[in-house]
Structure 1
Amino acid sequence: MTEVELKALHEFLAATFGATEAPRCEKISGGQSNPTFFVDYGDRRMVLRKQPQGPLLRGAHAIDREFRVLKALADTDVPVPGAILYHADADVLDTPFYLMERLEGRVFENCALPGMSGEQRRAIYFGMAEALAKLHRIEPEAIGLGDYGRPGNYFERQIARWSKQYDESTGSRISALDELVARLPSLMPPDDGKVTIAHGDFRLGNMLFHPTEPRVVGILDWELSTLGHPYADLGFCCMPWHTTPDEYGGIMGLDGDLGIPTQAEFCAHYHAQVGSDAPLLPFHVAFALFRFSVIFVGIADRVRSGNAAAANAEAVGPLAKRFAERALEVINDHPDHAGF
């Protein structure tokens, strides 16, 4: 933050919580997400998330929705940081922002969990499955989120949305992605009417684990959350089993017995917690890989236009083709869902 912003924030915090010394701020993320800061003010340890400055795409960076879902989940058993306040005006930091509780814990960016024992790795993955089940057990209407998105036909709408985004790309066509666009609609299972709060980016790197226990204490980054099908999140969780370490940090092909549960074991643990035994289908994982493929297409488009936000954008752009190919492998290797 600039000195002007820090002064304005200090005045705001003093008026809200009472006067004390100037806040201590540390930026902890950037890129294409909402700018996020640790903020210490007196004995309060908080996290501040704000909209980025400049023109925004319609519906993007909706931090009011992030704050709403955190507030709604506060009295449930879903592990989330406590929502403190939302400030809708741009009079303090030039854009709206909110404050939430800062939790202590561990974040694991590497899905292989280096430095851990096999037993510890297995427990961490099962802890993630348990956190996802807690989220999906919540009835959105019961906590005031019945209008948090459009219920029903989630995958149909999502396939149409991401296919359109791919069609509008300025880059060369990708044959594997073209095939996916053509095949996914026919592979989509009938809509079963299941509607839950879908996180949208539920992965190991967005979990804050207890400092010593394999238990999630905070699900982070709710920027993409909406009402959706629970298997959109579950399929997204399963991508590491179908991608290699150089394909956005997957675990496919790693040597040795790491102790990480198989995908089937992970899903069985989730099902036991959520109280459902409807199988995860190859379609659900293929859809997750398809969605990421199109996201990588968009990153490549921004690299060509000179408008890429992330420093590693040029490196991840080629992953569009590889993720589309992985999605086809999932579909082709399990035509009758056997062994999935």
Structure 2
Amino acid sequence: MAGSGSAGSGSAAELPGLVSGWLGESGIEYEPPLTLTRVGVGQSNLTYAVTDATGRPDRRWIVRRPPLGHLLASAHDVAREARVLTALRDSDVPVPHVFGVWKTDEVPMVLMEFVDGLVLDRQEVVDAVPEPTRHAVGLSIARALAPVHAVDLARTELIDLASHKPYAQRQLKRWTTQWQNSKTRESADLDTLTAGLAAAIPGQRELTLVHGDFHMRNVIVSPDDGSVRSVLDWELCTLGDPLADVGTLLAYWPADGEAGQGLLSNSAMPGFPDRDEMAAAYLEASGRDGSALGFWHALGLWKIAIIAEGVLRRVQDEPRNRAAAFAPTTDQIDSLIAKALRTLT
């Protein structure tokens, strides 16, 4: 799946020439020149939509690469993400097709299929969706986790993707380290939350594929019926407790007036199901018990706060990593920490 890279750092200015070579190696027809446009409000891996001179809908592609500047160990691994997408190609999980991974100055970049549909990452996009469709979108997103957690790890050869040790302990260790390596300040509340989570870990009952960052902005949905057409952004994918993904989804799903609006998702807008409906939709689709969801919801908020702190640090260190929409603030991050403390108690 990997190819040899051209010289250069893979900056935005160099990407059209690099992508032209990748398309040629893949035997994909295109009409030069190519145009690349930064897409998404995500602050992690950089994502570009590629179009050729014809402007035809069937001649669009996506390029993913790590952010610019210094990266934490194991973070932003687009090559690993491409491995997961390729493994899931014949599963019940809808994912884009990966054409290949190329390295430029040891920086991996992925060329993949463009999936048409809506990415509900901005309020103006959500504004155009009728309220009944918003409700269908929410329930479809929740139900879309069930096939992720039903993936046959042996058949897809993902059984060795990550450790099989207890997942909550692994998450606490990993993200505590991420906080220490990326924080912009000290936070006594974050320390209190971390200790509280460590004391409340539920027993792990099963080991499944876990998306790791599952929320409204990381899926493509149909504008007609709200069904999920593709699940995106698998860079944090691992093996662990399936309820962790549900907790993350709930953490990214604020209600009207709650902390995190603007930083998380637009779920507080009229029409979307509430968190109880989302949890019920997943539990019905998967047949699982949700008694430990409170812990996983709090852990999801804790992890989002740490991710946001890392984004803030990267933007401070390298302003070119800022997405067009916004960057998190310390007040928003602190509000997530406070909400997690309330959720855990």
Partners of 1:12 and 1:314 lie apart in 2 by 32
- Partner of residue 61, structure 1: 76
TM-score when normalising by structure 1: 0.82
- Letter aligned with residue 37 of structure 2: K
> Could you tell me which of 65, 84, 90 is aligned with 2:99?
84
Are the counterparts in 2 of residues 61 and 223 from structure 1 also a CA contact under 8 Å?
yes
Runs of 5+ in structure 1 lacking a partner?
Answer: 333-340
- Letter aligned with residue 34 of structure 2: R
Deviation at 1:188, TM superposition (A): 1.0
Tell whether 2:51 aligns with 1:36. Answer: no
Tell whether 2:117 aligns with 1:102. Answer: no
> Could you tell me which of 159, 162, 172 is aligned with 1:159?
172
Going from structure 1 to structure 2, the CA distance change for 1:283 and 1:37 (only over 3 Å counts) comes to: same
Please list the CA deviations of residues 108-132 of structure 1 after superposition, one character each: whole Å capped at 9, or x if unmatched.
1258944544432221111101211
- Letter aligned with residue 244 of structure 2: A
Going from structure 1 to structure 2, the CA distance change for 1:298 and 1:103 (only over 3 Å counts) comes to: closer
Partners of 1:307 and 1:165 lie apart in 2 by 18
Deviation at 1:300, TM superposition (A): 4.8
- Partner of residue 19, structure 2: 9
* Mean Cα deviation higher: 118-127 or 33-42: 33-42
Q: Secondary structure at the match of 2:104?
A: coil
Q: Secondary structure at the match of 1:197?
A: strand
- Partner of residue 197, structure 2: 184
- Letter aligned with residue 95 of structure 2: V
Number of equivalent positions: 324
Deviation at 1:71, TM superposition (A): 0.6
Partners of 2:112 and 2:98 lie apart in 1 by 4
Deviation at 1:314, TM superposition (A): 6.4
Partners of 2:127 and 2:16 lie apart in 1 by 38
Instruction: Map 1:230-249; keep pairs closer than 5 Å.
Output: 230-239=242-251, 240-241=253-254, 243-244=258-259, 246=261, 248-249=263-264
> Could you tell me which of 139, 146, 149 is aligned with 1:126?
139
> Could you tell me which of 165, 177, 198 is aligned with 2:210?
198
Tell whether 2:301 aligns with 1:289. Answer: yes
Partners of 2:224 and 2:196 lie apart in 1 by 45
Partners of 2:68 and 2:294 lie apart in 1 by 40
Q: Secondary structure at the match of 1:80?
A: coil
Going from structure 1 to structure 2, the CA distance change for 1:217 and 1:318 (only over 3 Å counts) comes to: same
Tell whether 2:232 aligns with 1:220. Answer: yes
Deviation at 1:72, TM superposition (A): 0.6
Larger radius of gyration: 1
Please list the CA deviations of residues 134-162 of structure 1 after superposition, one character each: whole Å capped at 9, or x if unmatched.
11111222211001111231111111222
Runs of 5+ in structure 2 lacking a partner?
Answer: 1-10
TM-score when normalising by structure 2: 0.81
Are the counterparts in 1 of residues 48 and 64 from structure 2 also a CA contact under 8 Å?
yes
Going from structure 1 to structure 2, the CA distance change for 1:83 and 1:282 (only over 3 Å counts) comes to: same
- Partner of residue 157, structure 2: 144
Going from structure 1 to structure 2, the CA distance change for 1:46 and 1:167 (only over 3 Å counts) comes to: closer
Going from structure 1 to structure 2, the CA distance change for 1:190 and 1:245 (only over 3 Å counts) comes to: closer
- Partner of residue 335, structure 1: none
Are the counterparts in 2 of residues 48 and 97 from structure 1 also a CA contact under 8 Å?
yes
* Mean Cα deviation higher: 217-226 or 174-183: 174-183
Going from structure 1 to structure 2, the CA distance change for 1:17 and 1:275 (only over 3 Å counts) comes to: same
Partners of 1:59 and 1:174 lie apart in 2 by 24
Partners of 2:340 and 2:15 lie apart in 1 by 45
